[in-house]
Amino acid sequence: MKPAWRRILRHAIKQIYEFMIMRKIILIVLSVICVSAFAQREYVPMIKPGRVWVTENDFSTARNVIEVTNDTIINGEQWYVLVAYPENNPQDCQRRLTRECERKVYMRGIEKDADEQDERIVLDFSLSTGDVVNMGGNYSVEKGVEVIRGIRRDVLWFLDYAYSVEQVWMEGVGIVNNKTLVDTDVPMFLENGTRLIACYQDDECLYYDN
């Protein structure tokens, strides 16, 4: 009969080996779960009732406010009223209709006689690395990820011919600086030199440029 201490030692080694194998299996399973969670996460929309942006222009000392207010149905589609105004003069406002569908943000005139031809894509978060877009010049797209307040968001960088970053868009937030795919009549939101100071949802800060 083998000495007792040998049996105990062999049993202990076996237990440690089984524990290490089980630990590896658990780590692999957790890694797969985490990867799946990131892959299947829901897209964070930019256009939501109660969403407010504060912007600033390099050529102006006044800040501007843009907010999503009431909603309306046009041709069976859900649209929202986008209101833009100087922070110190809310009465001097401009209004557009906006909606978001399949990671694309649309705008159109708010006038009753505005037809469907007025509808334009102003932001496209379905763009991927390697895509090229024209915004007064050709820009190549680089797609990355930022985690803000615990939420993973896609970020699009637009690089000019010298590969310097000219524009930045953030999923769920919008334009961090500069403009959209096309010009609209909300200049305080879209003109060159405009940058995002803050983005709020029902008074909760989603983004702040510090």
Average pLDDT of span 128-155: 86
Q: Which is nearest to 136 in space by CA: 113, 115, 108, 158? A: 158
Work out the number of other CB atoms within 10 angstroms of the CB of residue 150. Answer: 5
Can you name the residues that pair with 159 across neighbouring β-strands? Answer: 140, 165
Q: What is the pLDDT of residues 31-89, one digit of tens each?
A: 545 544 444 568 889 999 999 999 988 777 778 999 998 888 877 888 999 999 999 88
Q: Quick check: 55 and 63 in contact, CB under 8 A? A: yes
| 121 phi and psi angles, rounded to 5 deg | -80, 125
Contacts of 82 (CB under 8 A, 6+ apart): 66, 67, 68, 69, 95, 96, 97, 98, 107, 186
**AA identity, residue 167:** Q
Across the chain, mean pLDDT equals: 80
Assign 27 to helix, strand or coil: helix
Can you name the residues that pair with 68 across neighbouring β-strands? Answer: 82
Work out the number of other CB atoms within 10 angstroms of the CB of residue 63. Answer: 15
Assign 56 to helix, strand or coil: strand
Q: What is the pLDDT of residues 166-181, one digit of tens each?
A: 788 999 999 888 778 8
Looking at the predicted structure, is the pLDDT value of residue 14 above 60?
yes
Q: Where is pLDDT greater, at 4 or 194?
A: 194
